[in-house]
Structure 1
Amino acid sequence: MNYKRYFISLLVSGALFAQENEESSNTTNPTQETTPTETRFITASRDERPPETLAANVTIIGPEQIARSSARNVAELVKYEAGVDVKKKLNTPNSFRVDVRGFGEVASANTLILVDGRKINAPDLSGMNLGTIPLNRVEKVEIYRGGRSVLYGDNATGGVINIITRKENPDNKKAHTLTLSAEVGSYEYYRLGASLEGFSDDLYYAFDSSFTESDGYHDNSSNRTKTIGFSVVSTEFENLELFVAGGKSESHYNIPGPRNGQRDSASYDGYYGDLREQYITITPKYSITDKVDLELQMNYREAETKYTYPKAWGPSPERYTSEDISLSPKLTIRDRWNNINNTFIVGLDHRYSKMEDYGPDKTRRSTGAYIYNSSAFLDDTLFLDLGYRREAVRMNLNNDENYDTNDLDAFSAGVTYNYADHSKVFLSYDRSFRTQRVDELGGINFNEALDPQITKTWQTGIKHQFNDQWTADLTLFHIKSDNEIFYDSTLPGVRSPGQNTSYGQTKRTGVELGAQFQATDNLSLYANYTYMDAELEKDSLSDDANDGNTIPGVPEKFANFGFSWDFIDRWNLNMNAHWNDDQYAESDYANNADKQDSFITVDAKVTYTWEWLSVYGGVNNIFDEEYNEFTSTNGEYTAPERNFVTGFVITHEF
């Protein structure tokens, strides 16, 4: 079957049918939300701004899109966005890798993930457990493409994704709301969730909990996750807002072996992982005047991981703990100087990380000071953004008196011109950095410090709203990195070939193209396309053996398209398709193995909403595509076949 032709014809027929319904009925859908005329974006400047004022390709995924999506977690939610490549290595909830602009297998160290501005990137190689963030508590997700070390320091070289949880406006005090949800699906999957939120005088509160379990698609791939979390916003004291949030999660997951194109072979029976983590964040924000804010964010996170795995380095089961503490004061001044609206931000980020495993304790300390200024000219249509950060990173990898210290600089500059409503052209430059993680040692014996990675990003683009229905955007970018840190399997090793290294030079050149079309009040369509030329340029360790090769694990092209259609009163059909070009298997820096085949998948979800009840059913991989979502030089991990999910959400106000 020609999937592309079938899907396009479905889009066209859906649009025609919706237009006929629109012409024959004067009633409106009571469940359809009104899109606000101005949406604020926080991540780009650590301050609220309209997206049209930002010198970058940015995306906001709002509450309506989240509710209608077939995504079960944040990683699945962002996978249909331009420039964002999402892979699920072991088909377990904690094995997602979110890659902004083509960093391949080291994407988790080059894509910064935030929750309400709090970094959740682990200080070690364990990655991020995105499966522990319940979608029912997410208000919106912001995606910033491009480096942002000026404001966030380490890890923000490819882009930043900020997950913003619901914090109701205290001026709009609603009743207390209880939400219950349940979901079941293929492979013995089920999820239960509950949340309670509301107001008590000048206090907004929210509590949530969830339990998820599945047998998994592969042999020995069952998983189980429990989460509990809370957030509180207090405005009881004059000019002071206090935000407190915390949570705890426990995950158990079995580890399947590579499938080599099959579902039930090469099982790693008996191999598993256990992850327990908890965090708390406290953020008081004091309005000194109506133009000056002082904010202090304090975060603490601790995690314990225990696992057995064929390639573990320590005693079995291997166990390690990590601790992460950060303190971030920030002063914001908004004023009009010489007839120019200006926002000036100055801040400090201090972070301490510690890891304990079978070897010596490893610690990392970083202290970074930054300034950031945004000025608006020509009646607030021309924006100039300038920023600078100086950060000192001190690492002790052997629990002795020897420290590796790096003093790093980050710069950013951007110009944006709003030539029409909801339309802009922009040009920006960013110099970002990343340092090695606490267990990312280099050299043949894994006992050497690695040079810091310096990444420079140039990007320019245009976003144009043709009319009330059509919007399109085009972004061109060029990324150049010196000393890019990754694991190179072509270098010699101790137990097997390979070592962590700082590769001499790499480059990424690409295009992001997107379009949105509001065909009728009831039907919206979108499409986006990403081209990425990711290349190894010059290496200083392997005698130039890989110079000119393609960076593995990065598709040269991928595209997404879909629609959301209120086809009958209270009924919505949401459908998304993803096409992924072929690519070299991860760790194949020599480019001497067969590429992973291209694939296309289509997912759909139908939702019925009636007052306090929402019922839905979804089908993933509708056309039963056989493909490998993740392939490495050690084997292939076959993606799930056609699978189903259904569930309901009950909301009660009191």
Structure 2
Amino acid sequence: MSKRLTASVLSALAIAAPTHAEESTGLPITVTATRFAEPTASVLAPVNIITRKDIEQLHARSLADVVKTLPGVEMVSNGGRGQQASVIVRGATSAETLVLMDGVRINSATNGATDFSSIPLNQVERVEFVRGARASVYGSDAIGGVINIITRGTAGQTKHTLNGSAGSRDYQNLNGSTSFDINQQQHLKLAAGYETEDGYNVHPVEGVNDGDEHGFLGRNAMLDYQNQLTDEVNVYGAMHWTRNTMQSDGSYSYGDYSQHERDETWEENTHYQLGTKYQKDRYQTELNTSLINNDMYYYPDTISRDEASSVYKTSQYQLSWLNNYQITDPWTVGAGVDLRRDVLHSDSQSSGSAFFDEDKNRNNVSVYALSQYRWEQWLGELSGRTDDNQQYGRHNTWQAGLGWNFLPEYRLSARYGTAFRAPTFNDLYTPYSVSPDLKPETSKNSEIALEGTTQEVLWRVTAYRNDLEDMIEWAPDSSGYWYPGNVGRARIKGIELEAEFATGWLTHKLSADFKNARDLEDGTVLSRRAKRNYKWTGMANWDKWDASLTGQYQSERYDSSTRLAPYALWNAAAGYHVLPQLRIGGRIDNLFDKDYALASGYATPERSYYVDFSYQL
């Protein structure tokens, strides 16, 4: 049995153990479910963790390559590298899935989504994924689940790495990182990277844009500093910077009319974070502040960025004060305050029309509390949160769950909770539509799960249902003009199957997702959601070799009224340690050169080849 699988099995047996005792055992730990570190086995929601070792063994080129291997996730993109890539979790949209970086929300203030293609993989240490509603802890957008991208270095760990790769469509990537202790108290991590690809024609329009290529150019850097001032007090600060230029296509052909247009998006993100943690005995507290600035320009590539008529500039200010106290070994309570301010700057404009003459902003103040209780074979959790928003008023959410270990290695659990998605700036304000009276989308989430360990196979079966009301959709008014409004209702029901086990030197991760996602207004299937998804990831290590093989099947979907055919996709990767410090390898995407579509009208890459190296001290 692999060490990772052994740890997972032991974790399944440790459900009743207190949190502080787990952190020194080496068993799987998550910080995403409750915002403080705890064993994954003490969380009733499904939790998946992707480590840095997993990322390296996949020889992944982007975070999207990693996230799409997770159960319950469908990845949608309008083309190849650099094109907008978003996730659908349990049928919930990208704007209904909360994405964090080191615990801080990074969903866009304009469209609510997170573009996974723009997050540099060289900065990522691990990814934690919690499925189901977590709005009672995190607030808005946590309807389908929460994805936490952790970049922070580990104190006491020294690692210096240089990575590079090259491949199809003139793909090139070079990045480096270093993580080390300055002294016994201080730890520093630095990373920087460069990536470019010529791309291909992502939106072919016959006779109009033949031969076009839509490429990508990205640069990134980060700095993370930690200082253990005393045994109880830790302070930290971080800066993440990315600047990406992505090409896309605006060409069209309708009857006798056609137009050739190759567009470019220039986007810069700067993320600052500063905080402190205090822990003594059974009490933990954390104070965290962050600022995220985002500048995006969209324009035809025949003009310069300075001439762009579509400009979006936002700032997000966040302050969190979190507390956790273990009253007794079985009973833990937590509470916190979150303050957030979203700003749409006055120099933003769409197609040459300004949004406002001055900055448009809104404030959100929230308070939450949670409690977990472990008693013999029982595990219970209860949480609640109230959000007071300057734009849509007060919104309350809550969640309750109960787990029963009826046998030492088997647990039956159930959860119920509410969640919501706040209207984005795009929903509320455009030069052509102002809808300040929009209410948040709301949801009611319920699930029941059975999990266990049988013959060294970890498995879980989960049935869930998500009812959404007041969904924000564009619809015509009485005069025929289109505006965003609270006009949608949907119901998403599904069953998820998961298993992890080892056969000799090969570790297997399998998942199957069966769901029915329907619009309750007209009975149609929600766009781009497949009824069936199957995934398998196999990883092997022997002597100086490592290898991985991933397979995915997705049944038919509908993009509006267009049917997208089912497809099966395989990716393979292998690496060889030439020296203890030097590994060379490669990856083949779309191994069998399948022709498939993720979005109507957009092409996907054919079979692609990549070679890479990693040198680590």
Note if 1:410 corresponds to 2:405: no
**Aligned residue number for residue 91 of structure 2:** 102
Residues 70 and 178 (structure 1 numbering): CA distance in 2 closer, same or farther, change over 3 Å? closer
**Aligned residue number for residue 131 of structure 2:** 145
| 1:500 CA drift (Å) | 2.2
Residues 126 and 273 (structure 1 numbering): CA distance in 2 closer, same or farther, change over 3 Å? farther
**Aligned residue number for residue 246 of structure 2:** 253
**Aligned residue number for residue 269 of structure 2:** 277
**Aligned residue number for residue 534 of structure 1:** 517
> How big is each residue's C-alpha offset from its partner over 1:454-500, in whole Å with a ceiling of 9 and x where there is no partner?
111001111211023x1221100000011012345xx4699x98542
**Aligned residue number for residue 23 of structure 2:** none
Q: What is the distance in 2 between the residues matched to 1:268 and 1:553?
A: 27
AA partner of residue 130 (structure 2): Y
Q: What is the distance in 2 between the residues matched to 1:270 and 1:445?
A: 24
Q: What is the distance in 1 between the residues matched to 2:431 and 2:164?
A: 50
Q: What is the distance in 1 between the residues matched to 2:44 and 2:291?
A: 32
- Secondary structure at the counterpart of residue 30 of structure 2: coil
Q: Does the CA contact (< 8 Å) of 2:539 and 2:548 recur in 1?
A: yes
Q: What is the distance in 2 between the residues matched to 1:651 and 1:64?
A: 13
AA partner of residue 564 (structure 1): M
Match of 1:595 among 563, 571, 575: 563
1:354-369 alignment, distance < 5 Å:
354-356=343-345, 357=348, 358-360=354-356, 361-369=359-367
**Aligned residue number for residue 401 of structure 1:** none
- TM-score, with structure 2 as normaliser: 0.87
Aligned residues: 570
Match of 1:642 among 600, 604, 607: 607
- Secondary structure at the counterpart of residue 142 of structure 2: coil
Note if 1:475 corresponds to 2:466: no
Q: Percent identity?
A: 22
| 1:526 CA drift (Å) | 2.4
Q: Does the CA contact (< 8 Å) of 2:368 and 2:386 recur in 1?
A: yes
Match of 2:310 among 311, 318, 323: 318
| 1:371 CA drift (Å) | 0.5
Q: Does the CA contact (< 8 Å) of 1:90 and 1:637 recur in 2?
A: yes
Note if 1:199 corresponds to 2:181: yes
Unpaired runs of at least 5, structure 1: 1-21, 23-28, 261-265, 396-404, 539-546
Residues 129 and 456 (structure 1 numbering): CA distance in 2 closer, same or farther, change over 3 Å? same
Question: Which structure features the higher share of strand residues?
Answer: 2
**Aligned residue number for residue 8 of structure 1:** none
Note if 1:503 corresponds to 2:487: yes
- TM-score, with structure 1 as normaliser: 0.82
**Aligned residue number for residue 433 of structure 2:** 446
Residues 163 and 423 (structure 1 numbering): CA distance in 2 closer, same or farther, change over 3 Å? farther
AA partner of residue 390 (structure 1): T
Q: Does the CA contact (< 8 Å) of 2:69 and 2:537 recur in 1?
A: no
Unpaired runs of at least 5, structure 2: 11-26, 202-211, 302-306, 349-353
Residues 70 and 421 (structure 1 numbering): CA distance in 2 closer, same or farther, change over 3 Å? farther
Q: Does the CA contact (< 8 Å) of 1:444 and 1:493 recur in 2?
A: no
Q: What is the distance in 2 between the residues matched to 1:94 and 1:626?
A: 18
AA partner of residue 499 (structure 2): A
Residues 298 and 611 (structure 1 numbering): CA distance in 2 closer, same or farther, change over 3 Å? same
| 1:126 CA drift (Å) | 6.9
1:203-242 alignment, distance < 5 Å:
203-218=186-201, 219-242=212-235
Note if 1:459 corresponds to 2:447: yes
- Secondary structure at the counterpart of residue 136 of structure 2: helix
Q: What is the distance in 2 between the residues matched to 1:268 and 1:278?
A: 33
Q: What is the distance in 2 between the residues matched to 1:498 and 1:512?
A: 37
Q: What is the distance in 2 between the residues matched to 1:560 and 1:298?
A: 38
| 1:164 CA drift (Å) | 1.5
Q: Does the CA contact (< 8 Å) of 1:58 and 1:145 recur in 2?
A: yes
- Secondary structure at the counterpart of residue 156 of structure 1: coil
The CA RMSD over aligned residues, in Å, is 2.6
Q: Does the CA contact (< 8 Å) of 1:33 and 1:64 recur in 2?
A: no
Q: What is the distance in 2 between the residues matched to 1:32 and 1:416?
A: 24
Residues 41 and 423 (structure 1 numbering): CA distance in 2 closer, same or farther, change over 3 Å? farther
Q: Does the CA contact (< 8 Å) of 1:493 and 1:499 recur in 2?
A: no
Q: What is the distance in 1 between the residues matched to 2:218 and 2:266?
A: 10
Match of 1:630 among 599, 602, 612: 599
Q: What is the distance in 1 between the residues matched to 2:145 and 2:4?
A: 32
* Runs of 4+, deviation exceeding 3 Å: 31-37, 131-134, 257-260, 266-270, 418-423, 442-445, 491-494, 496-499
Q: What is the distance in 2 between the residues matched to 1:258 and 1:480?
A: 38
